[in-house]
């Protein structure tokens, strides 16, 4: 294990920035989000919940996928993916354990057959440096989903205390990054990290949502859960604004659309939301006509459908963003408490 | 550069047939004149008009056709309207094939087959029927029941009348909803007709058509003693990616684009009622 004193973090960022783009939580206009690092940027590593999750590094909110040139009756398809070849490698820095788990959740979707090349190319050229949490918030419940906030995975894991950032490489990519910044690192930190981990774990135990019961969310209960009458009441206040889906680090839904420009047609994809009424609209009808059905879809997907599709892994990671951001104070915690199992009261 | 299923191939329309007032069948090949890709009966493809949009259609031609693919397209919105205005020589884009096919090489082999279609629902069935005709001796009896609103709404009536109806070993029953001048065939809805025909319940049945037709026809078949595990249908949900990633077309834990569109009735029974 290595460490670097907090005063030298700027040198660390600058060093990384020499060879790679650096995406890191940065405070702008009072809000913290992942952004490109540069001298003078206000880095805020400690912020637990960036407004948008780092998923946009691999699955951007909007992304051009291809172009078409049309000439009379003819069409030419232009592959725009060459842009990736020219793109600098990236280091994504400061990813919290829940958000890292969320990337693994999205990996199963986008790297599964057939591989999504857009996602894969971004993913492959990015080195992920995670940061262990030391001050979890009340809305955090990652423990429920077996996330260890004190030992996130990733290419490099880091821990931060009052004086130092501690550094441990986990993968080949991580070793390469370590070699690059070696001159700034010094050995040490095992005891400090262990102490911090023990303290944080004790705090996590006491968080209000740390012991939610998920036991009823199994594929066998799919239909029983789907037919619960509680969905009506739980979803009544939902505005269908889609905020919960856009801030969620594991929401995968996207739309594919065309945009006419002077130089031809651009086909792009953008995040979409199952909370919207036209999400499933077809020429001859709509399979989800009520907000209750859409609300149910979102939470059933996280807690039942996704686990059933991918070996039992839940697609909620307990980041708590939807808990903080829903204007109507609806969220997955309420759903779990209502339907998750008898140990929820 | 690795392959990307979302990037389509360019196809050229080589023939346009007007089947009904709102359905046209388009023949498509690649720019090299060859078939764009192989598929199995029941699989679909995403067809697009750049700048307008992409839509999923069943590949209605049989895989045994080595020369081209066909799509029977009903005019019902932005993209399909533009496609309907297209002429021979126009290029479009196509990607696929997507979805699970009918189990023609597995469960259907050696069985007596009953095909029941309503309206544009013939599109996915035409592919299977012509596949079965191609490998005729691999299958038992073939019975086809096809209905539409009026005689003008029967898709591919020419092929049905000149080819299917003249083949030994294939029984074809046509019906239209209301009496019409120039029609001396059966009149009445498909579900009622199916019951009237007193079909052999040991056949393996495939149903395609509007949800309401499927619902009543299935009930009729069950009354006749058909087994649900030997009745198949296809589902249609809004689609974007076609490969189980955009999150749009699920029914419960199944993505219709990837795990369907072909489903056994017993599989549908296990899914929540949201399609
Ligand atoms: C698996 C599958 C197989 C299909 N096979 C055929 C076929 O063989 N022949 C045929 O005529 N039609 C078929 N359809 C329906 C066809 O996709 C729609 O009629 C078509 O998308 C309508 O598009 P539009 O832009 O003209 O209509 P609009 O209503 O303007 O469509 C707007 C958007 O809604 C979507 N949409 C609208 N209706 C449907 C629908 N019924 N299903 C899915 N998405 C829809 C379109 O993708 C489009 O992006 C099939 C659909 C699916 C899912
Ligand atoms: S559902 Fe809510 S708590 Fe769970 S991962 Fe998404 S935003 Fe975070
Ligand atoms: S649950 Fe809340 S955040 Fe999500 S769509 Fe409904 S009102 Fe918006
Ligand atoms: S169409 Fe995208 S998931 Fe089925």
Give the nearest ligand 1 atom to A281 CA: 34
| SS3 of chain A: helix, strand, coil, percent, to 5 | 40, 25, 40
What is the full DSSP assignment across A103-169?
HHHHHHHHSSSSP-HHHHHHHHTEEEEEE--SS--TT--GGGGT--TTS--SSEEEEE-SSEEEEEE
Per DSSP, the three-state class of A282 is strand
Q: Report domain extents, chain A.
A: 2-51+85-206, 219-344
- CA dist., res. A118 & res. B5, Å (int): 11
Q: Is the pLDDT of residue A83 over 80?
A: no
Distance set, CA A147 to CA A97, A130, A213, B172, B246 (Å): 7, 13, 15, 60, 26
Q: Report domain extents, chain B.
A: 9-98, 113-234
**% chain A with pLDDT above 70:** 99
Ligand 4 contact via B251 beta carbon (within 6 Å): no
Which of A80-94, A227-241, B83-97, B102-116 is predicted with the least confidence, judged by mean pLDDT?
A80-94
Distance (Å) from CA A255 to ligand 1 centroid: 15
- Top CATH class of B9-98 equals mainly beta
Ligand 2 contact via A242 beta carbon (within 6 Å): no
Residues of chain B with pLDDT under 70: none
Chain B residues closer than 8 Å to A305 by CB:
250, 252-253
Determine if the peptide bond prior to B261 is cis (ω within 30°).
yes
Contact A68 B93 (CB under 8 A): yes
Contact B238 A281 (CB under 8 A): yes
Chain A residues closer than 8 Å to B210 by CB:
284
Burial label, A219 (beta-carbon count in 10 A; 0-12, 13-18, 19+): middle
Encode pLDDT of A27-41 as tens digits: 999 999 999 999 999
Supply the pLDDT for residue B194.
Answer: 87
Chain A residues closer than 8 Å to B1 by CB:
79, 81-82, 117
Pick from A186, A219, A201: nearest CA to A307? A219
Which ligand number lies closest to the CA of residue A256? Answer: 1
Structural Rg of chain A based on CA atoms: 22
Ligand 4 contact via B55 beta carbon (within 6 Å): no
Supply the pLDDT for residue A119.
Answer: 95
Chain A residues closer than 8 Å to B53 by CB:
257-258
Ligand 3 contact via A336 beta carbon (within 6 Å): no
Distance (Å) from CA A7 to ligand 4 centroid: 48
Distance (Å) from CA A134 to ligand 3 centroid: 29
Distance set, CA B127 to CA A166, B40, B44, B104 (Å): 63, 8, 11, 11
Kindly report the length of chain B. 275
Query: Does the CA dihedral A175-A178-A183-A187 come out positive or negative?
Result: negative
Average pLDDT, chain A: 94
| DSSP H helices in chain B | 78-84, 122-134, 157-162, 190-196, 211-224, 256-259, 265-269
Q: Is the pLDDT of residue A139 over 70?
A: yes
Span between the terminal Cα atoms of chain B, in Å: 38
- CA dist., res. B11 & res. B61, Å (int): 15
- The pTM of this model reads 0.94
Pick from A202, A194, A201, A185: nearest CA to A129? A185
Pick from B22, B88, B89, B5: nearest CA to A65? B5
Option in B2, B89, B241 nearest A115 (CB): B2
Q: Is the pLDDT of residue A294 over 90?
A: yes
Q: Which tokens belong to B159?
A: 């092929």
Contact A65 B6 (CB under 8 A): yes
> Which residues are CB-contacts of B208 (< 8 A; sequence separation ≥ 6)?
B116, B117, B118, B121, B122, B123, B124, B125, B214, B233, B234
- CA dist., res. A204 & res. A256, Å (int): 40
Encode pLDDT of A2-16 as tens digits: 999 999 999 999 999
Per DSSP, the three-state class of B72 is strand
Hey, do B9-98 and B113-234 end up sharing a CATH topology, with the first three levels equal?
no
Interfacial residues of B (vs A; Cβ cutoff 8 Å): 1-10, 50-54, 76-77, 80, 89-93, 210, 236-238, 240-241, 243-248, 250-253, 270, 272, 274-275
Supply the pLDDT for residue A327.
Answer: 95
- CA dist., res. B272 & res. B275, Å (int): 8
- CA dist., res. A309 & res. A314, Å (int): 10
Q: What mean pLDDT do residues A241-263 have?
A: 95
Distance (Å) from CA A217 to ligand 2 centroid: 16
Domain B113-234: assigned CATH number: 3.40.50.80
- CA dist., res. A62 & res. A59, Å (int): 8
Distance (Å) from CA B208 to ligand 4 centroid: 20
Encode pLDDT of B30-71 as tens digits: 999 999 999 999 999 999 999 999 999 999 999 999 999 999
């Amino acid at each position: 294990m290595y460490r670097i004193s907090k005063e030298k973090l700027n040198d660390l960022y600058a060093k990384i920035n020499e060879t790679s783009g650096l995406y890191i939580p940065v405070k702008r206009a009072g809000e913290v989000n992942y952004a490109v690092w540069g001298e003078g940027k206000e880095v805020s590593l400690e912020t637990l919940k960036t407004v948008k999750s780092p998923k946009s590094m691999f699955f951007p909110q909007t992304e051009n996928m291809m172009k078409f040139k049309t000439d009379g009756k003819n069409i030419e398809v232009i592959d725009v993916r060459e842009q990736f070849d020219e793109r600098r490698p990236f280091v994504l820095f400061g990813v919290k354990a829940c958000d890292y788990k969320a990337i693994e959740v999205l990996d199963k979707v986008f790297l599964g057959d057939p591989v999504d090349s857009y996602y894969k190319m971004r993913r492959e050229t990015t080195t992920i440096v995670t940061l262990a949490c030391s001050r979890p918030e009340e809305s955090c419940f990652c423990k429920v989903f077996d996330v260890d906030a004190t030992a996130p995975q990733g290419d490099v894991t880091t821990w931060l205390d009052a004086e130092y950032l501690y550094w441990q490489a986990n993968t080949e990519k991580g070793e390469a990054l370590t070699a690059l910044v070696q001159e700034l690192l010094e050995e040490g930190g095992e005891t400090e990290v262990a102490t911090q981990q023990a303290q944080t774990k004790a705090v996590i135990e006491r968080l209000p949502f740390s012991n939610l019961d998920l036991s009823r969310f199994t594929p066998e209960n799919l239909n029983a859960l789907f037919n619960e009458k509680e969905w009506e009441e739980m979803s009544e206040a939902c505005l269908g604004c889609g905020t919960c889906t856009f801030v969620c680090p594991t929401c995968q839904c996207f739309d594919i659309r065309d945009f006419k420009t002077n130089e031809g047609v651009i086909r792009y994809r953008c995040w979409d939301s199952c909370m919207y009424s036209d999400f499933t609209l077809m020429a001859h009808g709509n399979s989800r006509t009520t907000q209750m059905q859409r609300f149910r879809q979102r939470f059933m997907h996280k807690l039942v459908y996704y686990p059933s599709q991918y070996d039992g892994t839940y697609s909620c990671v307990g980041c708590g963003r939807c808990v903080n951001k829903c204007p109507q104070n609806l969220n997955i915690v309420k759903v779990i408490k209502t339907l998750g199992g008898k140990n929820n009261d | 550069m690795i392959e990307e299923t979302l990037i389509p191939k360019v196809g050229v329309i080589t023939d346009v047939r007007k089947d009904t007032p709102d359905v046209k069948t388009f023949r498509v090949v690649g720019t090299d004149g060859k078939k764009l890709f192989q598929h199995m009966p029941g699989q679909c493809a995403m067809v697009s008009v750049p700048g307008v949009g992409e839509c999923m259609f069943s590949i209605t031609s049989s895989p045994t056709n080595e020369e081209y693919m066909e799509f029977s397209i009903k005019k019902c919105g932005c993209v399909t309207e533009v496609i309907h205005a297209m002429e021979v020589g126009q290029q479009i884009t196509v990607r696929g094939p997507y979805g699970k096919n009918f189990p023609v090489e597995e469960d259907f082999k050696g069985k007596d087959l009953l095909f029941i279609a309503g309206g544009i629902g013939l599109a996915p069935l035409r592919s299977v029927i012509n596949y079965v005709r191609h490998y005729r001796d691999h299958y038992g009896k073939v019975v086809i029941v096809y209905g539409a609103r009026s005689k003008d709404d029967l898709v591919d009536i020419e092929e049905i009348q000149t080819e299917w109806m003249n083949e030994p070993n294939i029984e074809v029953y046509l019906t239209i909803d209301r009496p019409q001048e120039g029609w001396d065939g059966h009149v009445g809805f498909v579900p009622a007709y199916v019951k009237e025909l007193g079909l052999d319940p040991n056949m393996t049945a495939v149903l395609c058509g509007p949800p309401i037709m499927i619902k009543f026809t299935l009930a009729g078949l069950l009354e006749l003693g058909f087994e649900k595990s030997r009745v198949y249908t296809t589902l249609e949900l809004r689609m974007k990616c076609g490969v189980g990633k955009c999150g749009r077309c699920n029914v419960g834990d199944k993505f219709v684009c990837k795990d369907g569109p072909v489903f056994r009735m017993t599989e549908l029974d296990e899914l929540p009622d949201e399609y």
